[in-house]
Structure 1
Amino acid sequence: MPLGPLRARDASARELMDEPGCDPEALERTYARFGLVNAVVSAPGAVRRRWIVPRLRADRPLRVLDVGTGGADLPRSLARWAASRGARVEVLGIDPEPRAIAYARALPPVEGVALRQAATGDLVAEGRRFDVVLSNHVLHHLAPHELGALLADSERLVAPGGVVVHGDIERSMLGWLGFAVGTLPLEPTILRGSFIRADGLASIRRSWTAAELAPALPDGWRVRRAVPSRLEVVHEP
C-alpha cells in the first residue's frame, strides 16, 4: 500500500510519554498496558521461536539483554515462558529513563529478571556479554547517529555465536490505519487514561522503512520484515 502522507519519516513527532512533565498517572497506566499492546503488535512468540529457542542451553542459563525495557513486560514474559518449559534464562532489562525503571521495580519480582537504569554504553564499559541482545520499539526513537551508536554497542555486547535483534514498527499506511482502527474502540475502556493510542500513532510516523534502514546498516547487519508491519535489524557474529 502506498505510504501517502507517511511517505517521509516524521522525526519531529513527539510521544507524550517522553515528555519530562507528562502526567505521572497516565505514564504509569501506559507502562501497565505495554504488555497487552506488545502481545498483539510485537509478535513475542515469533521472536522467541526464531531467536531464543535455538540458543537455549542445557549447561547454563541463556543471557538476554533487553534494551529500552520500559515497564519490563517483555523480560518478565520471557522469564515466565522459559520457566514454564523448564528452560533457563537470565534477562537484564535496561533503560536510561528513571521513571520506567522505578515502575518496573515496583512490580512483583520475577525470577530470572534483573533491572537496571543504564544505557548500552555503560555495559560496554563494564565488558558485559550476552547471548541475545534485544530491543523492542526503540529504533524509531533514535536519530541516525544514535542508531549507529546503538548498533556499535550491540556488536560489543553480543557474545560469539549470539544474536542481536532490534525489532520495531515499519512505517506504512496499512500499519497506521490498522493501529488507529484497532485501538479506537479501546480508547474509552482498556486504554483509557494512557498515552498508548496517541503515542502509538506518533511512533508509526517516526518509524523507519526497510528501504531506509538497509543502506544505513554497517557491514554484518541486515534488516528483515516481520509481521505485523514490523522490522528486525539483525546481527549474528
Structure 2
Amino acid sequence: MSPDLSARAVDARELMDDPEADQRMLERTYLRFELVNRVVSRPGALYRRDIRPRARQRPLRILDVGSGGGDLCRGLAVRLRRDRLDADITALDADGRATRWAQAHDGGAGVRYRCALTAELVRDGEVFDVVLSNHLLHHLEPGELQQLLRETRQLVGEGGVVVHGDIARSRTAYALFAASTLPFSRNLLAGSFIRADGLTSIRRSYSPRELVAVAPPGWLVRRRLPARIELRWDAADA
C-alpha cells in the first residue's frame, strides 16, 4: 500500500539519524551513497552549471553543508582536477560519525572535513564562493531550515551562489525509488539504510509549492530532473 504523500511526513525519522544506529550498516550506507547520489542527485549538472564557470575565473572556496560520507565533495575534487581548476573544498557535517568516516576515505581528494554547524563558520567569518547541500533540507524543522538559509546566505561572498538540492516529494518519485532499489535490496544495498531511509526521505521532503511558501525573499525554487527540487540564492539574480 502506498503511503499518503499529500503532506510532509514530518514525524518520520531516518534510521541513520539515530545516535545508536548500527555502525556497520551506517558505514555501508556512506559507502553506497556515491553510487546512489550519482544517479539521483546528478552532481555533474551542478558542477557544469554553477562550479566550473566560476572556477574558470578564479580559485574557489566550496562548502558542502551536511556532507555525510563526503562523496559529493570528493567527486567535485576529481572533476576540478580533471579540468585543471583550483578549489578549496570543505565538507561540513554536525555528525562526527560521518566526518570521521569521510576523512578516513578521502582517497587523496584533498577535501577538508569539519564536524561543526554553519553557525560556527559564520562566527569565524568564513566566506565561500559556492555553498551547497544535498538531501539536507528535508531533515530540518521549520526553524532549523530558516536558520540554515540565513547562515548559508551569510557564508557566500560577492558573486557567489548557494544551492540546496533535495528530492521533490511526489508519488512518482516514491514509486521510482521503490522500484529501482528493490532489485538491489538483497545485494548491492543489503546491510545499509539506503532503501528504507530513501523512502522516508521522500515522505519528509517538500513539494515545489511548499518550498516556495517557506523560502525567504531572494531565494528561487527550481525543479530539476529526476524528481529533484533546488532552493538557490544567486548573487547574479539578487
TM category (shorter chain) comes to over 0.9
Distance in 2 between residues matched to 1:63 and 1:200, nearest whole Å: 30
Q: Deviation above 4 Å: which 4+ runs of structure 1? A: none
Distance in 2 between residues matched to 1:108 and 1:141, nearest whole Å: 25
Q: Which residue of 2 aligns with 1:65?
A: 63
Distance in 1 between residues matched to 2:140 and 2:233, nearest whole Å: 18
Q: Is the 8 A contact 1:140 1:207 kept in 2?
A: yes
Q: Which residue of 2 aligns with 1:201?
A: 199
Q: How does 1:101-180 map to 2 (within 5 A)?
A: 101-180=99-178
- TM-score (normalised: structure 1): 0.96
Distance in 1 between residues matched to 2:53 and 2:19, nearest whole Å: 40
Count residues in correspondence: 234
C-alpha distance after superposition, 1:28-85 (max 9, x if no partner):
0000000000000001111111111221145x42110000000000000100111011
Amino acid at match of 1:168: D
Distance in 1 between residues matched to 2:108 and 2:3, nearest whole Å: 44
- TM-score (normalised: structure 2): 0.95
Q: Which residue of 2 aligns with 1:219?
A: 217
Distance in 1 between residues matched to 2:52 and 2:220, nearest whole Å: 21
**CA positional deviation for 1:219:** 1.1
C-alpha distance after superposition, 1:125-146 (max 9, x if no partner):
0000000000000000011111
1:51 aligns with 2:50: yes
C-alpha distance after superposition, 1:83-139 (max 9, x if no partner):
011111111000000100111111144344100001100100000000000000000
Amino acid at match of 1:69: S
Distance in 2 between residues matched to 1:110 and 1:145, nearest whole Å: 37
Q: Is the 8 A contact 2:168 2:202 kept in 1?
A: yes
Classify 1:118/1:218 alpha carbon distance in 2 versus 1 (closer, same or farther; 3 Å).
same
Distance in 2 between residues matched to 1:107 and 1:45, nearest whole Å: 21
**CA positional deviation for 1:199:** 0.2
Amino acid at match of 2:100: A
Q: Which residue of 2 aligns with 1:27?
A: 26
Q: Is the 8 A contact 2:52 2:80 kept in 1?
A: no
Amino acid at match of 1:32: L
**Structure 1 stretches lacking a partner, 5+ long:** none
Q: Which residue of 2 aligns with 1:94?
A: 92
Q: Is the 8 A contact 1:63 1:131 kept in 2?
A: yes
Q: Percent identity?
A: 52
Distance in 1 between residues matched to 2:208 and 2:28, nearest whole Å: 32
SS at match of 1:66: strand
Q: Which residue of 1 aligns with 2:35?
A: 36
